[in-house]
Amino acid sequence: MKIIDFRVRPPLKGFLDMVMYSNGERRDRFTRQLGLEPAPSAVERSMPLLLQEMQAVEVVHGVITGRTSDFFGSVSNEDVAAIVQEYPGRFSAIAAIDPANRKAAIAQIDAALAQGFVGVTIEPGAYPVPIYADDRKLYPIYAHLEDRNVPVVIMTGGNAGPDLSYSNPIQLDRVAGDFPNLRIAVSHGNWPWVSEIIHVAFRRSNVYVSPDMYLYNMPGMDDYLRAANGFLADRFIFATAYPLVPLKAYTEWFVKLPLKPENMQKCVYQNAANFLGIAP
């Protein structure tokens, strides 16, 4: 079964400066807290090892995402583009923006699209000045993305911002309602607000849900899966959030979850491909 990993951060270029690589001890503690063992490729920061791990579980394609953040560390679109180019066909690129200036952000988006980026990410609570997903600063940007039919990956789950309020899906729901033709995927699945994001996705057919590692034996896991086996079968997107969890072990665990075979297929491949408009 061919698999797309919707959130993977390879041990290359700017990613190596992010906390998840620069502070390996912190990352491994996080991984172990989930009950998993760190990936050899993460510990050794080895791209060849990661490619082996991907191959071992048929992850044929990974989505890599730029980032603008003080806390987590930033990764430039240039670095992301360079990685995609270096490993042809292996990765798709999502562009980061700096929301501080709307004109500059829109220029960033247009430049990225011209370069082959397949989408844009917004990480409201992770920006140097944290904001909520419905911040006015972001509305011209959402409008631009909707008008150009560019999908957006919004990271509003887990440690999405300075505190728990940044993962509450209320603001995300407003955005999804105000831009009904904007395709939105929520990374980290707005965890821990599981019932709430499932409601949002039930109400808003433009919302895709990608809970990645926060599915792993965490509260809400059964609810995410019930939705993925029901109304969300076409909008649930598999991801690992590697290197925070080991890509190989997490994928092996995921594919054995009790989803109907046709839904599993969609969740690990087709939904991501449809969302991004790619066919890897």
Residue in this structure with the two tokens 């920006």, named with its chain if needed: 127
CA angle 257, 258, 260 (to 5 degrees): 120
Is the CB of 207 or the CB of 267 nearer to a copy of itself? 207
**CA 276 to chain CA centroid, nearest Å:** 12
3 state SS for 85-151: HHCCCCEEEEECCCCCCHHHHHHHHHHHHHCCCCEEEECHHHCCCCCCCCCHHHHHHHHHHHHHCCC
Is the CB of 128 or the CB of 230 nearer to a copy of itself? 230
CB 95 within 8 A of CB 120: yes
Is the CB of 59 or the CB of 245 nearer to a copy of itself? 245
Residue 198 CB, shortest distance to a copy of itself, in Å, is: 5
User: Using CA of residue 186, residue 192, residue 194, residue 196, what is the dihedral sign?
Assistant: negative
Residue 158 CB, shortest distance to a copy of itself, in Å, is: 8
Residue 154 CB, shortest distance to a copy of itself, in Å, is: 15
Is the CB of 1 or the CB of 164 nearer to a copy of itself? 164
Residue 261 CB, shortest distance to a copy of itself, in Å, is: 18
Is the CB of 148 or the CB of 203 nearer to a copy of itself? 203
Residue 104 CB, shortest distance to a copy of itself, in Å, is: 29
CB 145 within 8 A of CB 97: no
Is the CB of 31 or the CB of 41 nearer to a copy of itself? 31
Residue 92 CB, shortest distance to a copy of itself, in Å, is: 29
Contacting positions for a copy of itself (CB under 8 A): 33-35, 158-159, 162-165, 167-170, 173-174, 177, 191-196, 198-200, 202-203, 217-220, 223, 226-227, 230-231
CB 131 within 8 A of CB 119: no
